[in-house]
Structure 1
Amino acid sequence: MMAGMEVDDGPTKVGSKRNHSRSGNIAGAGGGGGLGGRGHVQQVCRYWQEGRCIKGDECQWLHPGSAGSTGRWTSTGSGKRPNIVYDARDREGRENREYNVGGWGYGGGGFSSGSNQGRPRNVSARWGRGGRGGRGGRGNLDQRDSRAYESGRSHSLKPKPCSYWLKGNCTRGETCNFLHAHTTAPDMEMKTQLVGHEKAIRAIVLPEGHSQLYTGSQDESVRVWDCATGQCTNVAPMGGDVGALIFAAGWLFVGLPNEVKVINMATLQQASLSGPKGQVHALAVTEDGLLFAGTQDGTILIWKFSTTTNQFEPAASMSGHTGPVVTLMLIANRLYSGSMDNTIRVWEIAAVQCVQTLEGHTNVVMDLLCWDSFLLSCSLDGTIKIWAVNTAGQLELTFSHPEEENQPDSRNITLAGALKMCGCTDKAGKPVLLCSYNDNTVRLYDLPTFTERGQLFSREEVRALQVGPSSLLFSGDSRGEVKVWNWIETQPEAVVE
């Protein structure tokens, strides 16, 4: 292959758009730069990229490296790219099993619900410098998979899952050039899948101490799942796209177009809170009964629960954002909001006013998370930013992942947009941040180093994440699929002499 040739890696989603990115400057394949008689069109074969070209050496399009007629990479000898089949066959006992086995082992423990949901403890204020596990790096893939890499060439390879295998219809088997696995994290497995929603999942709620899981979707419904059996026990039509869903003090709150629906789960009585203009994208509620709703017009509306009427009544509104409010986070006596105007606003609840505006992201602020004394934000600009309180009592940017020197050249590649975050601890009690991206992955990062320890794969982008008890994690994607993941014990790799 000719040195310096650019390879079209196909469309990459950034927000609701798709940009074509190029990896650029692929190293030569040895010899005089010829293509071994395979043809003359210097454009990568789309079917080869998908692992299903059947023409082999007769194909007129470019097959980078020296693959045989089966499309599978041969040995990593001189002039050949390394085998990128991740060979997860030794994991088939847990990866290719029948997943709908009934129930997912709901148990006690886990993280508390509310604004501190899934919040791990801070073990260090020294952020980053986690080695090769940044965005664009391969992270801590387990040893079986890391053999697919060749020193100095990992920049041209991707741990990309086979889209056909994820659909259950890959016919290439062992000759497929792409990963046959739901995850590259050796200590995480997919336990089961909850099927029923027909459109994107926007919210997942598992109230602490309850035996039911709630999922809200753009198919205009909320589904209720039994945690003991994994079966859907109820489908509640909402009459509009579900943009947000939270549970607090026996109430279920549903963000809809132009209203917030409030359901008393003890009596099943419903009430509609009017006032929002457009879709309600985010909800938050305090322990003393203040309900906040982030709306399409950039306003944050506030209701207060009245013990006299046993209803939520309008209390106030807060304006300042110039774009829709898409995420809300309550920490102590302050509310934090992220918006499509690329900013984060800090609101003093008692004074009902904005006390600080955080600028730093260059695209929509999609989600906010609290980790000890730090505020974490993720954005469609592809970054996760860490904010800390300075000596003046103001939040300031203290770290950004990926670090600036590690960010790819924007002329060659665009970072996948970050969508949703949640925090948890692994089996060893180490804090882990999970962040979903619009390249259909969820990446797992050790904190505070941001070393990437693996990825979870979905057929579409994941827009909802929820930590559960007993080492469980729930993810909901844009196809309406809810996956249940589980942290597992791992055995140390055997040392090969």
Structure 2
Amino acid sequence: MLQAWNAQTAAAFDLKFAARLIYCFAVKSDLLFAGCQNGHILVWWDSSPSSPPQLITSLEGHTSVVVSMVVGANRLFTGSLDGTIRVWDIDTLGSITAFKVWAGSSPGARTLKVVYSRNEENGVLALNGVYDMERNPILLASCNDDTVHMYELPTFVEKGKIFSNSEVRVVQVAESCPIFFTGDGSGILKVWKVTGVLKEYVL
């Protein structure tokens, strides 16, 4: 069951959708996006705080599980186990392009190009980034061999590795501090602090 909560009134609404697993979410203004096991992306429109969001469409293009999504620059970026990242226009809800590793070619540019690439022996489930104590950018890559790799960018030198008892399907970071969160398939949520060494806190 999927529920949406109104943060002001604490009202809860059950969201209706066909029987399939949801792996990730993203929100942009009054739109809610949900990545599904079958590769589809469900889109709900929240038109009123007193009524439940309405399912308006299903975005199709991925051929396997959608495991990650991020909203930015009026775009929805989605990652899937089919090996692609897709970019969707939030205004039209249409697909713009698909690629593997990307970055803007210049500030404010609408074109994309590959700047870094790395092959992993195992499938990548989730990606995120955090800064270490010296403000060096660190890429967090969760793989389906029950590990999370920590790579220094842009060199991809491995700075550490987290071992789990099951697949880590969620990697989220805290703003303005070297802390990130992992959630695995067994339901365990952990908080990690990036210092000289990783410190682990289990919730």
**TM-score between both structures, scaled by the size of structure 1:** 0.35
Aligned-partner residue type, residue 114 of structure 2: L
Q: How many percent of aligned residue pairs carry the same amino acid?
A: 38
- Do residues 484 (structure 1) and 171 (structure 2) align? no
Query: Aligned pair in 2 of structure 1 residues 313, 479: CA closer, same or farther (>3 Å)?
Result: closer
> SS at the partner of 1:435?
strand
Matched with 1:317 is 58
Measured against aligned partners, the alpha-carbon deviations of 1:354-407 in whole angstroms (never above 9, x if no partner) come to: 12232xxxxxxxxxxxxxxxxxxxxxxxxxx531345894433332114xxxx8
- Kept in 2, the 8 Å contact 1:276–1:295? The answer is no
1:353 equivalent in structure 2: 94
Which structure dedicates a bigger proportion of its chain to strand?
A: 2
* Deviation of the 1:270 alpha carbon: 1.6
| Structure 1 residue 263 displacement after superposition | 2.1
2:118 counterpart (398, 401, 405): 401
Code of the aligned partner of 1:306: S
C-alpha change, 1:280 and 1:308, in structure 2 (3 Å) is closer
Distance (whole Å) between structure 1 residues aligned to residue 81 and residue 158 of structure 2 = 27
Between 449-458 and 475-484, the greater mean CA deviation after superposition: 475-484
Q: Distance in 2 between matches of 1:340 and 1:437?
A: 11
Q: Residue in 2 aligned with 1:42?
A: none
Q: Do the aligned residues in 1 keep the contact of 2:130 with 2:179 (CA within 8 Å)? A: no
> Paired residue for 1:332, among 73, 84, 87?
73
Q: Equivalent of 2:149, from 439, 443, 446?
A: 443
Shift of the 333–341 alpha-carbon distance from structure 1 to 2, 3 Å rule, reads same
Query: Of residues 430, 435, 453 in structure 1, which corresponds to 2:159?
Result: 453
- What runs of 5+ residues in structure 1 fail to find an aligned partner? 1-255, 359-384, 408-414, 491-497
Matched, 1:274 2:55: no
Equivalent pair of 2:62/2:82 in contact (CA under 8 Å):
yes
Structure whose residues are more often helix by fraction = 1
Residue identity in the other structure for 1:388: A
Which of 115, 123, 129 is the matching residue for 1:417? Answer: 123
- C-alpha change, 1:483 and 1:308, in structure 2 (3 Å) is closer
Which amino acid counterpart does residue 399 of structure 1 have in structure 2? Y
Greater Rg by CA: 1
Match of 1:291 in 2: 32
Give the alignment's Cα RMSD to 1 decimal: 2.8
1:474 to 181, 193, 199: 181
Length-normalised TM-score, structure 2: 0.78
Structure 1 equivalent of residue 84 of structure 2 = 343
- Specify the code of the residue in structure 2 equivalent to 1:417: G
> 1:444 Cα shift?
1.4
Q: CA deviation at 1:312?
A: 1.6
Opposite residue 17 of structure 2, the aligned amino acid is: G
Q: Following superposition of structure 1 onto structure 2, how do residues 78-227 of structure 1 map, counting pairs within 5 Å?
A: none
Distance in 2 (CA, whole Å) between partners of 1:354 and 1:267 is 35
Gaps of 5+ in 2: 198-203
Quick one: distance in 2 between partners of 1:433 and 1:334?
21
Relative distance call for 1:458 and 1:314 in structure 2 (3 A) is: closer
Q: Is the 8 A contact 2:16 2:55 kept in 1?
A: no
**Residue identity in the other structure for 1:420:** A
1:163 is matched with which residue?
none
* Counterpart-to-counterpart distance in 2, 1:293 and 1:443: 25
Shift of 1:285: 0.6
Number of aligned pairs? 194
Find the residue that maps to 1:456 and give its secondary structure.
strand
Residue type of the partner of 1:356? T
Q: How far has the Cα of 1:262 moved from its partner? A: 0.9
Query: Partner amino acid for 2:98?
Result: T
- Alignment of 1:465 with 2:182, yes or no, is no
Higher relative contact order (CA 8 A, sep 6+): 1
Question: Structure 1 residues 317 and 473, CA, compared in 2 at 3 Å: closer, same or farther?
Answer: closer
Q: Within 1, Cα distance between the matches of 2:82 and 2:165? A: 29
Q: In the TM superposition, what is the alpha-carbon distance from 1:474 to its structure 2 partner?
A: 2.4
Could you say if the C-alpha distance between residues 388 and 314 of structure 1 is closer, same or farther in structure 2, counting changes exceeding 3 Å?
same
